[in-house]
Structure 1
Amino acid sequence: MSISINPGTGPVAEATEANAATNITVFGDDLRKAGLDVRDCTRKPDDDYGDGRFAFQLAMADGRTIEIQMPGLPIERVRFMSQDGQNIWNFPRLYVDGSSYVWEFALSVCEDD
């Protein structure tokens, strides 16, 4: 018997760095649409979790840096936004500064307290 407490936190099969790079660009665009000023995004390969997630560091205009571990699947399989037809159970989680969230909630976690 297997019980999953945080579905979507496990390894991401068939992930690629190219998909993760596309995804982090869209993530940054979504943050900007939400009014957050992302100044720079840097790939941090030494910080990869090694499970199909790829490390990026976002530099924010307010001086904060945010580490994102981005799943390397095609964007439509990662960008959960509570849209019709999306089932949260089918989406891998991103890690934001070490904690896991689906895309929609990862965006809000990046807001300044």
Structure 2
Amino acid sequence: MIVVINPGTGPVPQASEAHAATNITVFADDLRRAGLGVDSCERTPAADYGDGRYAFTIAMADGRSIEIQMPGLPVDQVRFIDGDSQNIWHFPRLYVDGSSWVWKFALGACEPDDEDTD
């Protein structure tokens, strides 16, 4: 029997910081398209996990800061957005404030909690 828990959470071989930087820009643009205000994205290398993911801090317009651990592969290998045309098993996960998500669901994880809006 094979049990797979959180596929895509393992190390990301052949990753590069340059790919991660491109990816965080696309991710921030996706957040903006979803109606979330993004003020800036800053590289925070001291927070890197060291497994092919690179840390960035996204400053949101509502005052929140979100840490993203972005895989350093080409964006088409990281940006899972459509379960009909993409196989979720082939995509590494991002980490949003320590929790792992594929791209599509990482966007939702960046939305403010109900208690954040009070």
- TM-score w.r.t. the length of structure 1 is 0.96
Gaps of 5+ in 1: none
User: Aligned with 1:95: secondary structure?
Assistant: strand
Quote the residue 2:79 is aligned against.
79
Quote the residue 1:89 is aligned against.
89
- Cα deviation, residue 82, structure 1: 1.5
* Structure 1: distance between partners of 2:4 and 2:18: 28
- TM-score w.r.t. the length of structure 2 is 0.92
User: Aligned with 2:73: secondary structure?
Assistant: coil
Superposed CA deviations along residues 9-47 of structure 1, whole A, max 9, x for unmatched, are 000000000000000000000000000000011100010
RMSD: 1.1
Superposed CA deviations along residues 39-93 of structure 1, whole A, max 9, x for unmatched, are 0111000100000000000001111000000000000000000154310000000
Superposed CA deviations along residues 83-109 of structure 1, whole A, max 9, x for unmatched, are 543100000000000000000000011
Quote the residue 2:62 is aligned against.
62
Gaps of 5+ in 2: 114-118
Q: What fraction of aligned residue pairs are identical, expressed as a percent?
A: 71
* Structure 2: distance between partners of 1:111 and 1:83: 21
Quote the residue 2:16 is aligned against.
16
- What is the number of equivalent residue pairs in this alignment? 113
* Structure 1: distance between partners of 2:9 and 2:27: 18
User: Aligned with 2:58: secondary structure?
Assistant: strand
TM superposition outliers: structure 1 runs of 4+ over 3 Å: none
User: Aligned with 2:59: secondary structure?
Assistant: strand
